[in-house]
Structures are given as C-alpha cells and as structure tokens.
Structure 1
Amino acid sequence: MRRLRNRPLAVFAALGALVLAGCGTDRHTPGDGATSAVPGGTVTAHQLMRLTTVHEETGMTLLEGPVFGEDGRLIVVDVTAPAGASKVMSVDVRKKTVRKVFTDNRGAYTSAQFSPYDGRLHLTDFAHGEIVSLAPDGGDRRTFFAGEVDGAAMRPDDIAFDRDGNLYVSDSLGMSEGEARGRVVRIDRDGGNATVLADGLAAVNGISFDIGYRGLWISELTENRISYLPVVQRPGSAGRHTAVRVDGGIAQTDSIAVDADGNLYQALHGRPAMAVYDKHGERLATVEVPARAKGLESATNVAITPGGTRAYMTVSGPAGGYLYTFDALAEGVRQSNGG
C-alpha cells in the first residue's frame, strides 16, 4: 500500500494512474464532542465519521475541499478516487450520512468552491489542468477553463473567489519536477481572460482572501511558508512578501482558510494537524487529532460553519478518509468555506 507521507510524489503518481485508467449551520453547543479553542494551546479535534477507505486502484484516498452548500450539506472531494467511485460527495454532518454527488472516468479533483456569481460548484482538475463546474446537485458538468496561461498549462490546486465571482487559483506548475515555477492565476468570472498575478512559487498550494478582500494568503508546500499577495493596490503598498514561516518539521503547508477574525488555518500534510495564526503571524493554536488515532497522516483543509464556529477538517491516511470536528477561534465566512 502506498502511503501519503510524500504528497508531491505519491499523489502525482496516483493522479497519473487515474489519467491512464481512463451544510450544517448550527453553532456549537455543549456536549456535542467538540473541544473549544484556547489561544496558544492545543485544540483536540474529534472524529465525526469516516467517508472513504483506501482505493485498491490507486492505493490511496485523499480528502480535500470541504465546502458548505446552501442546503446545509458539506461537499468533499476525494483526489485519488478512481472512475465510478465518489469523486465528489455530499455529507449530512448532523445525520452522519454521505452520498455520491459526482464521478467521471478522468478527473482528479483537488478542491471545491461555490461561485458567488452563478452559484455553481467549481472543481480543480489537477491531472488535466482544467477547472470544471457543476450544478449544486452534481449535474450539468461544464469546462470553466482549460488551456495554457502565458504559454504553460496549469496544475490547478486550490481556488478562491472574490466578491464579484472572479476566480483565483494556486497553480502548482513545476511541482513534479521540484522546480519553483508555481503561479497565482486570476480568471474572469465567465472563464475568459486569465492573468498571472505571481510566479516563481514553490509548489503553491493553499489560497484564501483576507477578510477585506485586499489580498491573498498563499502557502508554498515545499518551502513551508505563507506569503501575502496584495490584489488591491494602495499608495505605498508592496508586492508579495513572506508573512509566516511554518515550523512544520516533517510536515508541509497544504491548504489554507481564514475565519471572521482574520485568523489563518494552515493545514499540514505529513501530520494530521492544523496550525492557526493571526494576521500578524503569531501562532495562536495547533489543532490535533488524538494521539491514539492511527493511520492518519495529513490534514488537508477545513470548512468552518458559516456564521458558526464548528469546524470540519478533512484528514486522510492508510486508515481512510475522515472528517474531524473542533471549535474554531472565530465564526466561519466565505474565506473559511472551501478552496
């Protein structure tokens, strides 16, 4: 069985095999199994449910992109799911039930996010360099964007939308070669014009707007750093700069989310945990699964209930793909719901 310890290699190999083969909105209430976040300390996340097991065809399962839909159900993608298996699933977090929403025979989907412009669910297909969209019920598949950007095909990983529905994508170009050629790409809300906003990034992964939509927080997996990229220029403002250097040890920086107070939730690949920082780079807390939880190697992303503090973290490894829950430091907003 292949393991998830080295995502850039193991996941890329699994994606290659796939190509060849063809919302709860309630606030936290006492006694429901979640642990309140205490700034500066460790927050213990608790298992909600297992969504997937390791796929025989790919030797892996890797959950990503949790995002709440308007119906209150949580959408989750399985990056390495083979054809026929649930590549996009819908979870009722109250009843602890899951159902298939979408599958196909080619895509390897690494993130999910609903557009504020047309309400459609957008997915990044890392294997084919495309962004596709679905109706909220999983039907009516469309290609939102495909093709080269500035002469190079994308390796789209995570996405974020601005208020108008324009899409910003972390492009992990160069990741498989170990080269710092990653980019941040902006695509108009109709899927038309694509513009490179930043390049020279090392396996860029997480991407999320700050609370004021003035800039983007972006994480580089192979450099273990979070950078800040202004997108609304003000007099005297600078370009991209390193904002946080993550002391991850063997773990690497994966997806990123932002709560209503502007705190950053940095997922860690290689460790089933998240590091939480404020906007000034101070480490506020570490979210951990219990030490007794075996066979879990990575926490890839989180969705915080819109208007509430209950958070749902996707965790994966040889034991399968799970949802773990904890209390966030602040309420959920669009920036902490998918990406």
Structure 2
Amino acid sequence: MIKTRRPLALAAAFAVTLLIGGSTVTAAAPATEDRGAAPASDAGRGTPPVPVIRATEVAKVAPLDPPSVFGHATVLEGPAFGPNGHLYFVDFTAPAGKPKILEYDLRTRAVKPVYTDATSRFSSLQFSPADAKMYVTDFDNGKIDRLNPDGTGFTTVFSGPVDGRKMVPDDIAFDKAGDMYIADYQGSPWDPTGRVVRLSADGTDPTVVQGGLSAPNGISFTPDFSGLWVSEYSLGREDQFMLAPDGKSVVAGNVGMSANTGLRGFDSNTVDAAGNVYQVVIGAGKILVWNQDGDQIATIAIPQEPKPEPLVSNLVIKPGTTDGYITVGGDNGGYIYKFRSLAPGIPQSNGGGA
C-alpha cells in the first residue's frame, strides 16, 4: 500500500493524491530542483533538493523522419533488451519501407534494421517471458503483432475490438505468465474513455481491467506484479491500480496514486527493483522519478544542446544493472542516451509506448 510522508512545502510543489477505499487524502511532494540549488524550507526546516541525474548521449541511431503527426521530427519508442543482450526499439515516425524496428549493439554501437512494412506504426516493443518473442503495438491499426528477434515470423496476435470498440494500443507490459496489459490511448480530460486492456498470453480473452482514463500511455508493473503504474498523458497524472489475484480487474480496495506536477505529456514509464517509478515528460526533456511512497526523489535531465526541445519518449533499465537507456528524438533524428538508475533493472523494466 502506498503511504504519504510529512508534506514538503516547496515553491513549485506538485500534489500527490491518494485514493484509499474511496476517500481522498492530498499531500504535497517536492518539485524538481537542480543539485546544488538552495534548499527550500518546510516551516523553517530545511529540506534537501531533489537531485538531478544528467543523461549523456550514446549514439545517433535513426535519421530525421519526414513530416508526421509530430511535424518534421523523429520519435523513437519501446526500448527493450532482447535475449542476445542487444537493445531493440521502434521508430514511431518511420515512413513506409524504412526501418520500423531496429536493433542496437551496445558493444559495437552498430544499428541494424530488423523489420519494416508499408502500413504499421509501432508505438512500443517488449519481449514476452512466455516465449522470448518480440511483441509490438500497432497504434494506427489497433493490433498486437509478434515476431522473432531477427524480424522473421511476423504474426498478428490480436486485432479485434474490445467491448465493441477498436483499441488504440500504445504501451504494453507483461506479467510473469506472459499475459499482456495494454494502455488503450483514448479519451481526454472531458471525455475519459481510455482503458487498460488485458489479453491472455495467446492473444485471447480481451478484458477491460480499468476504464475511465484520459489518454493512458505508460504502463509498468510493480516489482511484485501486484499492481500497475499507468500514466494519463493528457492529464499529466500517474495512477497505480492494484490487481485482483486473477489479474483481470482492479481490486475493490484499490489504491490509486496521482502525482500531478502541473505538466502534461506524461509518456512512457518504467519501474526498477526498488519500486521507483521513472516517468517521461515528453515535452519537457526530462524524466521524473518517484519512490513507491509517492515522493519525488530525482529528475533525469536530457541536455537540450545542440538538439533543442528533445522528444524524450521512453526508457529501459538493463536487468541486473543500473544502466538506463533513453530513446530521444526531435528535429535532428533519433538518439540513445544513457543514465545511472537509482536501483537495478528487472526483467520488465520497460513499459513501452509512444
């Protein structure tokens, strides 16, 4: 269960709201501050600044894509480590015939195209623990596809409507059995029709786990797989949903944590072995980090020079290490950045998604 600590009154604090058994309790949590900034005070008592972790560029891995819904920019997504230890990711804005799934060798820094087609627009990528195959979400066509790490064996696993409505699959996460949990990127603050949808490992039994969301985007399991962290893109809000034992519903006494920073554009997220949540803010060039109590404990900053307004979209922490990798796009192409995480990665340290 999530618990709050003593409120911290900082100049640009964000609200943390806990929904427990239908009751709402609001506390304050610290805003982002740079390391070395003057500490803020709480009723005359000093509070430590939130540290800033600086990410560094590793490699340019994709060219500038032609105009798309993001303008003349490249958007990379879904970094995940394959069975061979290489980093796989998708190019959300790649045109027909250009590489849409790519593979990056951390040792040689070589980038290799894995798959392309004429119609797909992949928004996330993840490897299933059930079969070690690669699963991708087709944002435009409402599909979940599966293929081998070398790009062969392409198969559509699911393409049907869920409760009579087509999905807009954004991010994907797997439980230990290989069942899929998908952020259905629909809805708005005034019409919250977004959902979290569950599919069995074989792509059957579609079930709405949670509805009433505003453009759900990032989705990651807690380390013990008892709950999900889900970001609502258009609200700039982080929610936690505790799951029933069968994983098909949210338990009646669920705990929902909403961390409202005043920012929008909450994109993908991930969780480390300590339960810390890393949340990308795509329009701000940063990643916010909270512990499992809802306290902001760090900010990961992506340098904006010489690439102004980087489109920071997703991240992954290599399992068993503190090596974190970030997909970054923008009007100069697509890049991989690296940072040091606060705790080691776990097998599902990637929620995927656009």
TM-score (norm. length: structure 1)? 0.84
Distance 2:206 2:276 in 1: 29
Aligned partners of 1:292, 1:246: CA distance in 2, in Å? 28
Identify which of 103, 107, 112 aligns with 2:120. 107
Provide the rounded CA distance (Å) in 1 between the counterparts of 2:228 and 2:75: 25
Q: Which has the higher helix share?
A: 1
User: Aligned-pair RMSD on alpha carbons?
Assistant: 2.1
What does 1:1-339 align with in structure 2 at a 5 Å threshold? 40-56=50-66, 58=68, 59-174=72-187, 179-232=191-244, 238-239=252-253, 241-249=255-263, 251-337=264-350, 339=352
Write the distance in 1 (CA, Å) between the matches of 2:126 and 2:230: 16
Structure 2 Cα separation of the partners of residues 276 and 180 of structure 1: 26
In our comparison, the structure showing a higher alpha carbon Rg is 2
Percent of aligned pairs with the same amino acid: 41
- Any conservation in 2 of the 1:296–1:319 contact (CA below 8 Å)? no
Q: 1:48 to 1:296 in 2, by over 3 A?
A: farther
State the Cα distance separating 1:104 from its structure 2 match: 0.5
CA contact (8 A) 1:207 1:256 kept: yes
C-alpha distance in structure 2 between counterparts of 1:143 and 1:82, whole Å: 20
Does the C-alpha gap of structure 1 residues 102 and 239 become closer, same or farther in structure 2, counting only changes over 3 Å?
Answer: farther
Range moving further from structure 2, 99-108 or 55-64: 55-64
Deviations 1:62-88 (A, max 9, x none): 000000011010001011101111100
The answer as to whether partners of 2:241 and 2:256 remain within 8 angstroms in 1 is: no
User: Deviation digits for residues 48-71 of structure 1, max 9, x if unmatched?
Assistant: 011122222533310000000110
2:198 is matched by which residue type in structure 1?
R
Change (3 A) 1:159 1:276: same
- Mapped to 2, the partners of 1:279 and 1:171 lie a distance apart of 24
**How far did residue 119 of structure 1 move?**
1.3
Structure 1 consecutive aligned stretches of length 4 or more whose deviation exceeds 6 Å: none
Q: Which residue in 1 is equivalent to 2:5?
A: none
> How far did 1:174 drift?
3.4
2:348 partner SS? helix
Change (3 A) 1:158 1:39: farther
Partners of 1:291 and 1:191 in 2: CA distance? 41
SS at match of 2:79: strand
Does structure 2 conserve the Cα–Cα contact (< 8 Å) formed by 1:156 and 1:169? yes
Q: Which runs of 5+ in 1 are unaligned?
A: 1-37
User: CA deviation digits over 1:189-238, x for unaligned, max 9?
Assistant: 1111100011110000000110111010100001111111111359xx64
Q: Count residues with an aligned counterpart.
A: 299
Shift of 1:94: 2.2
